Amino acid sequence: MQGLMQDVPLLVSSLIRHADRHHGDVEVVSRRVEGDIHRTTYREVHGRARRLANALDALGVALSDRVATLAWNGYRHLELYYAVSGKGSVLHTINPRLAPEQIAWIANHAEDRCLFFDLTFLPIVEKIAPLMKTVRAVVAMTDREHMPPSPPGVELLCYEELVAAHGDRYAWPELDEHLASSLCYTSGTTGHPKGALYSHRSTLLHTFAITWPDVMNLSARDTIMPVVPMFHVNAWGIPYAATMTGAKLVLPGCALDGKSVYELMEAEKVTMAAGVPTVWQNLLAYVGQNGLRFTSMQRTVIGGAALPPAMLRTFEERYGVAALHAWGMTEMSPLGTLCALRPQHAALPADDAFAIKAKQGRVFHGVDMKIVDDAGNDLPWDGAAFGNLLVRGPCVVREYFQGEGGDPLVTDAEGLRWFPTGDVATIDADGYMQITDRSKDVIKSGGEWISSIDLENIALTHPAVAMAACIGVPHPKWDERPLLVVVLRPGAGATRDELLRIYEGRVPKWQIPDDVAIVDAIPLGATGKMLKNKLREQFAGYRWPAP
Amino acid sequence: MQGLMQDVPLLVSSLIRHADRHHGDVEVVSRRVEGDIHRTTYREVHGRARRLANALDALGVALSDRVATLAWNGYRHLELYYAVSGKGSVLHTINPRLAPEQIAWIANHAEDRCLFFDLTFLPIVEKIAPLMKTVRAVVAMTDREHMPPSPPGVELLCYEELVAAHGDRYAWPELDEHLASSLCYTSGTTGHPKGALYSHRSTLLHTFAITWPDVMNLSARDTIMPVVPMFHVNAWGIPYAATMTGAKLVLPGCALDGKSVYELMEAEKVTMAAGVPTVWQNLLAYVGQNGLRFTSMQRTVIGGAALPPAMLRTFEERYGVAALHAWGMTEMSPLGTLCALRPQHAALPADDAFAIKAKQGRVFHGVDMKIVDDAGNDLPWDGAAFGNLLVRGPCVVREYFQGEGGDPLVTDAEGLRWFPTGDVATIDADGYMQITDRSKDVIKSGGEWISSIDLENIALTHPAVAMAACIGVPHPKWDERPLLVVVLRPGAGATRDELLRIYEGRVPKWQIPDDVAIVDAIPLGATGKMLKNKLREQFAGYRWPAP
C-alpha cells in the first residue's frame, strides 16, 4: 500500500525556485574574471537561468545532452548550474587544470554538445577546439565588450548576448528525479578519467545532508564562500546548499591568492569558507605575514587532502576559526565524512581534541562505511585496526559513465553493494574515520598491513629529509617489506642507519623499513602528489640487502 | 538518461540502522508509566525493534497491515516506530485523548490488525474492545509483573514477553520508499476524522528538513525532549530526527505536569524541548513559582497552537531560552514553517524582533506556500494582505486514507496542485507567514476580509472580558458583518458601547464589530478550542440593530 503524499520529485530546479520565492533578495557576490566585483541575487540568478534555458533550447540542447563548462566560481557558472540541470540536460564541469589533450578526451568521451568557458581559459579552448568531435557551440562567458576574437575553426558565441536574446519565462519540467543532472570526471591517476554521473535525486539528497548541523551546518544566517572550485564535484555541493538555505554566496573567481581571498572574505563578511589545504596555506601565510585577523569567519571546511595538524591549530588557536576536516570523493557527490566533535569530547584537553579533529570524521545519514580486510571480513572499530574503506549510499556511484572500468562495486555477505574507496582507514569506537593510506600503497608484510603514510610522516621529522615515500617491495619471505625512499634537503646529509634509527620506539619493530634509498627526485603528478606507482616501477629491480 | 548513483531507497529502517552503526551508544531515556526512569541506547532500541519485528511476523502482521498504538512518549513506543514501519507495516498512532467511540471508529476505519497500549490506557481498551472489528492482538506495553487482568473478550499479550520470545536477527526489507509507513488521523472538528498516510519517503524527507539549522537545528550535541506526543503526527518527526543525528533522546511518558517535565529536563540536561503552549504554560508556572532557572535548555520549538507573545518573552527574556514558533498540520508531516530570524534582523530592537518571532515563520525547502483570494488569485507578500494559505510539497498529503473526503487539492493556473490549509494568513516581504484566522472563521464584509482573531484579541484587552469570539453574521448590504460575542469575568460589567470603543484607532473603522452579544458561555470543543460553527448556528436568527 502506497503512502498518500504528494508526488513532488527531487529536482535541481526546485532549489533555485525555492530561493527565488522565499529568499530571492539574498546576494550572490562574484569576483569576475573581468576583474571587478559583481553583485546579484538569487532571484536574478533564477531569471537569468531561465533565459539561459531558453537559449540552450534554441541551440538545440536536448534532454540529457551534456553541456560542458571550463569556468571559475562565479554567478554565470551558477546560472549554468540551474539552467542546464533545470531543463533536464547534464552539466559537465571540466577541470581546467588538466592537460588540454585530456580535456579534449573527456569532452569527446562525454559527447559534450556545448562548451561554456571563462575568458581565462581561451588558450585551452584554442588548443582543444580542433580535437573536440561533438561540441557544436562554444560560448565565452562574458559580454560583447570583452569578447575575444574567435580561434580558427570556431565561432565563439557571447554569453550575455545569449541571455539577453531570450525571455525569462521558462517552466522547469517535472523530470524523473533519477535523471542525470551533472557529470564530473575523476582525475584518474591511472588509466583514463572516469565519469561520475549524478542524478537530480542524488544531488538533492547530498544537498540536504551537507546542510545539517553536524555536517557543514549551513543556514540563512551564513555568508558562504566556496573557494573549492565549482569545476570539481560541484564545489562540494555548496552552491546548491547555499541556494537552498538562503545563505549569501561569495564566489572568488580566479583570484585564489591569499590576499585576494582574504580581502573578499573581509569585504563580504564571510562566515564560512571551504577549501583545500594548499589554498588555505596561501591564505594563512598572507594573514600571518601581515598581522591580520579574520573578523567575520567562524569556520572553515577543509578537504580534498588531509588537513595538516599545524593548519588545524593555526585556524583554531591563533584565529578562533573552527576548522572542520572533511573527506569525500568524486564518486560520493562528494562528501563522505566530516569531523565535528561529539558531546563526550566537550571536556577534552585541547591536544586530545585536536587529535580527533585531525581525523577525517564521521559519516552522516545517507553514507554508510566499513573497513574490511582483503577477504572482505569486517574489521573492528577500535581506532587501531586498518583496512580497505568501503562506502555505500544514495549519493555514491554504482557505475561510471558509459560503463567505463566495469562494475566498481563489491558485494558483502549480507548482499549489500559497496564502493571500494581505494583508501585504507581506521574507524574508532565513536565512529571517527581516519585515512591511513591508499589501498595500493599500503605495505603488506607477512599478512600484516603497514601504513606507508605513517612511515613517511616519521621520515619527514628528520631535519635532513625534504621528501619521503615508503613503498612495498617484493620480499622472498614476507611478501613485501617497506623501502624508504628519500630526497634530502640541499646541502643536508644523512646516513641509512641514521634515518632508520628515528623509527625506534615510534612504530613496532616489524614495521621499520628494511632499507633506505636516497634519490635525487621522487616522481610527482600534475597535482603535486607523489606517484608511488612510478616509484614502484623504478624499484622493480631492487634487491634487499642480505640479512 | 538516468544518473548512475546507487539505488538506496529512503526507508524508516535506515534511521535506526544508521544510529546503531554510527552512534549506537547514545542514550534514550524514558519516564515509564510504571513510574521509574529507564535508560537504553539506540543500539538496544534497534535490537529490540528487530525482536519485535519478528514477533509481529509471528502474529501474522503482513506488509502494509496497520498496527495501532495508544501510547505515551517512551522507548517501547520508539521501538514500535522502527519495528512496524521497518518491516513494511503501517504504524497507526491513535490520540488517546479522543472519545473511546471515536478511537474505535478510527481503529475500524484504519482496519488495524494489532493494538499496543500503555497501561494508562487500559480503561480505553476495556471500552473499545467490544467495538473493534479488525484488531486480532492487543498488547500491553509492559512486563509480566505489571500485566493487568485481561478485559472481558480480550486476551492481552505482554510486550516484554513478545520481545523476549524472539531473536534479534531481522534483515529490514528493501522496500519501495513510496510504501506507507505510518498513519495519523486529523482531529476532525467537523465530520469524521481523516487519515494522513505517510510514506517512508515523506517521513525521511521531513526528517532531513527539520534537522536543518534554520528549522529545528538538531545535532549530535543536543539532548532532545519531545514533550509533544508521539501519538500525534509522530511528535513532529523529532524521534526520527534525533535517531538520525545521534542526539540523546529524553521521553517524558505521561508525566506532563510542570514539576515532572522540569525535573526530567534538568536531570538529563536537555538542550532542546518541543511542546504546545498549554504544556509550556504549566512548566513556566512551576519554574516561576519556585524561582527556578533552566540550566541546560538552549531552545524550545513551540507549535500546535499560536505561541502567545507573553510566553515568547518569558522564555527569551527571563530564562534565556530561545523560543521558536512553529506551525504545521497533520497533513504536512507536520512541519510547515518555523520562525528563525534572518540576518537582516540581527540588529533589530527587541520589540521588533519579538514581533517577527511571534509570526509562524518561514517555509524551508520541501514546503512551498502561497496566499490566494477566493478566486485563487495570488495575493501580495506585504505582511498586510491576507488570504487562504495553500501549501505543497513531498511531505504534504495528496489525498486522505481510503479517499475519505474526496480530492482535497486545488489546481492553480500553472497546473500545480496545492493543499488548502483552511487557514488565512499574511506573508511578509521576508517570507514570514502569520496565521490571521481560520478560513471558515474569517469575516467577509463587502468583498474585504476581516480577521476574527484580531478582533477577539482586542476584545480580550478589556479587563472585564473573560472570553471573546467574533463571528460573521449575514448582513443585507455587506454580505457579512462582525458580531462580537463575549463572556464577562465573574462580577465584572461592561456595556456594548464601552466594548466597541476599544477598537477605535486599533483597526480601520469598517472592521469594528457592528454589535456585541454578552453571553454566559461560548461552546468549547474537546481540546478547549471555541466552536465558532456552533456559535454561528446559535446566532443564525440574529437580527442587526437598525442603523
Contact A23 B342 (CB under 8 A): yes
Contact A214 B219 (CB under 8 A): yes
Closest CA to B432 of B354, B373, B508: B354
Q: Residue B189 pLDDT more than 70? A: no
Does the active-site annotation cover A414? no
Most A CBs within 10 A among B2, B4, B170, B329, hence the mutation to make, goes to B4
Q: Are A509 and A482 in contact (CB under 8 A)?
A: no
Task: Strand A180-185: give its sheet, edge to edge.
Answer: A156-158, A137-140, A112-117, A66-70, A90-93, A180-185, A195-199
How many whole angstroms separate alpha carbon A279 and alpha carbon A367?
27
How many whole angstroms separate alpha carbon B239 and alpha carbon B222?
13
Q: Which domains does chain B have, with CATH numbers?
A: 13-255 (3.40.50.12780), 335-438 (2.30.38.10), 443-538 (3.30.300.30)
Comparing B158 with A525, the larger pLDDT belongs to B158
Helix (H, G, I), strand (E, B) or coil at B508: coil
User: Alpha carbon of B416 to those of A49, A444, B392: distances in Å?
Assistant: 21, 60, 9
> How high is the pLDDT of residue A192?
84
How many whole angstroms separate alpha carbon B483 and alpha carbon B511?
11
Q: Residue B527 pLDDT more than 80? A: no
- On the CB side of A99, how many CA atoms lie within 13 Å of its CA? 8
Confidence of residue B358 (pLDDT cuts 50, 70, 90): very high
Contact A202 B64 (CB under 8 A): no
Nearest chain A CA: its distance from B11 CA (Å):
11
How many whole angstroms separate alpha carbon B533 and alpha carbon B189?
10
Active-site residue, from A34, A444, A480, A534: A444
pLDDT in tens, B435-493: 999 888 999 998 888 989 889 989 989 999 999 999 999 998 999 999 999 999 999 98
Nearest chain B CA: its distance from A13 CA (Å):
12
Mean pLDDT of B25-38: 95
Nearest chain B CA: its distance from A290 CA (Å):
30
The number of beta carbons lying within 10 Å of the beta carbon of residue A508 is 10
How many whole angstroms separate alpha carbon B170 and alpha carbon A424?
30
B2, closest residue in chain A (CA to CA)? A179
Report the complex ipTM: 0.93
Confidence of residue B154 (pLDDT cuts 50, 70, 90): very high
Contact A4 B214 (CB under 8 A): no
- Cell numbers standing for residue A377: 571480513
> What DSSP state is assigned to residue A482?
E
pLDDT in tens, B424-438: 999 999 999 999 998
Q: Are strands B433-438 and A322-328 parallel, antiparallel or unpaired?
A: unpaired
Q: Which residues contact A299 (CB under 8 A, 6 or more apart)?
A: A217, A271, A272, A321, A322, A323, A324
First to last CA, chain B: 71
How many whole angstroms separate alpha carbon A474 and alpha carbon A541?
10
Sign (positive or negative) of CA dihedral A216, A220, A224, A228: positive
| Residues of B annotated as catalytic (active site), given as ranges | 186, 331, 444, 449
Helix (H, G, I), strand (E, B) or coil at B514: coil
Q: What are the phi and psi torsion angles at A201 (to 5°)?
A: -60, -50
Q: Are B362 and B340 in contact (CB under 8 A)?
A: yes
Judging contacts by C-beta atoms under 8 Å, the chain A residues touching residue B23 are 342, 431
Q: Are A337 and A371 in contact (CB under 8 A)?
A: no
Judging contacts by C-beta atoms under 8 Å, the chain A residues touching residue B343 are 220-221, 248
> What DSSP state is assigned to residue A308?
P
> How high is the pLDDT of residue B379?
97
Nearest chain A CA: its distance from B340 CA (Å):
9
Nearest chain B CA: its distance from A355 CA (Å):
19
The residue whose grid cell reads 517570507 is B431
How many whole angstroms separate alpha carbon B20 and alpha carbon B2?
32
Helix (H, G, I), strand (E, B) or coil at B111: coil
Q: Are B81 and B234 in contact (CB under 8 A)?
A: yes
Adjacent-strand bridge partners of B480: B474
First to last CA, chain A: 71
Comparing B546 with B45, the larger pLDDT belongs to B45
DSSP string of B450-505, one letter each residue = E-HHHHHHHHTTSTTEEEEEEEEEEETTTEEEEEEEEEEPTT----HHHHHHTTBT
**What is the pTM for the complete model shown?**
0.94
> How high is the pLDDT of residue B109?
97
| Among A99-113, A319-333, B182-196, B330-344, the least confident range | B182-196
Closest CA to A390 of A414, A411, A418: A418
Sign (positive or negative) of CA dihedral B65, B69, B74, B75: negative
Judging contacts by C-beta atoms under 8 Å, the chain B residues touching residue A397 are 4-6
- Cell numbers standing for residue B32: 515509564
Does the active-site annotation cover A331? yes
- On the CB side of A185, how many CA atoms lie within 13 Å of its CA? 31
Mean pLDDT of B100-121: 97
* Three-state helix/strand/coil letters over A461-473: CCCCEEEEEEEEE
Closest CA to A511 of A481, A536, A477: A481
Does the active-site annotation cover A236? no
- Which of B3, B6, B396 comes nearest A5 by C-beta? B396
Contact A5 B199 (CB under 8 A): yes
User: Residues in chain B, how many?
Assistant: 547
Q: What are the phi and psi torsion angles at A388 (to 5°)?
A: -65, 130
Rg (alpha carbons) of chain A, rounded to whole number: 24
How many whole angstroms separate alpha carbon B137 and alpha carbon A422?
51
Q: What single letter denotes the amino acid at residue B194? A: K
| Among B11-20, B311-320, B364-373, B521-530, the least confident range | B521-530
Helix (H, G, I), strand (E, B) or coil at A434: strand
Closest CA to A188 of A456, A444, A401: A401
- Which of A179, A220, A365 comes nearest B15 by C-beta? A365
Helix axes B238-245 and B200-210, enclosed angle (nearest 10): 70
- On the CB side of A97, how many CA atoms lie within 13 Å of its CA? 13
How many whole angstroms separate alpha carbon B68 and alpha carbon B107?
7
Contact B3 A244 (CB under 8 A): no
Q: Are A83 and A52 in contact (CB under 8 A)?
A: yes
- Calculate the average pLDDT of chain B: 95
Contact B365 A15 (CB under 8 A): yes
Q: Are strands A66-70 and A90-93 parallel, antiparallel or unpaired?
A: parallel
Q: What are the phi and psi torsion angles at B78 (to 5°)?
A: -60, -40
Contact A18 B365 (CB under 8 A): yes
DSSP string of A326-340, one letter each residue = EEE-GGGSSEEEE--
Q: Give pLDDT < 50 ranges for chain A.
A: none
Mean pLDDT of B229-244: 97
Q: Which residues contact A341 (CB under 8 A, 6 or more apart)?
A: A353, A356, A357, B221
How many whole angstroms separate alpha carbon A301 and alpha carbon A317?
16
Contact A1 B394 (CB under 8 A): no
Q: What single letter denotes the amino acid at residue B274? A: A
User: Alpha carbon of B105 to those of A1, A469, B102, B113, B195: distances in Å?
Assistant: 21, 74, 5, 14, 12
Q: What are the phi and psi torsion angles at A289 (to 5°)?
A: -65, -25
Judging contacts by C-beta atoms under 8 Å, the chain B residues touching residue A208 are 205, 208-209, 212, 365
- Which of B14, B214, B401 comes nearest A4 by C-beta? B401
Comparing B515 with B191, the larger pLDDT belongs to B515
- Which of B4, B22, B399 comes nearest A362 by C-beta? B22
Contact A201 B7 (CB under 8 A): no
A179, closest residue in chain B (CA to CA)? B2
Closest CA to A78 of A214, A231, A263, A256: A231
Confidence of residue B162 (pLDDT cuts 50, 70, 90): very high
Mean pLDDT of B335-339: 98
- Which of B3, B178, B346 comes nearest A3 by C-beta? B178
Contact A5 B201 (CB under 8 A): yes
Closest CA to B50 of B24, B23, B86: B86
> How high is the pLDDT of residue A526?
64
Taking each continuous run of H as one helix and of E as one strand, the counts in chain B are 15, 25
> How high is the pLDDT of residue B535?
93
Q: What are the phi and psi torsion angles at A215 (to 5°)?
A: -110, -110
- Cell numbers standing for residue A100: 588540454
Q: Which helix H or strand E contains B546, and what residues bound it?
A: none
User: Alpha carbon of B349 to those of A10, A25, B300: distances in Å?
Assistant: 39, 22, 22
The number of beta carbons lying within 10 Å of the beta carbon of residue B455 is 25
Closest CA to A190 of A453, A533, A524: A533
Nearest chain B CA: its distance from A344 CA (Å):
9
User: Alpha carbon of B19 to those of A116, A430, B14, B274, B442: distances in Å?
Assistant: 44, 12, 8, 21, 46
Q: Are B220 and B271 in contact (CB under 8 A)?
A: no
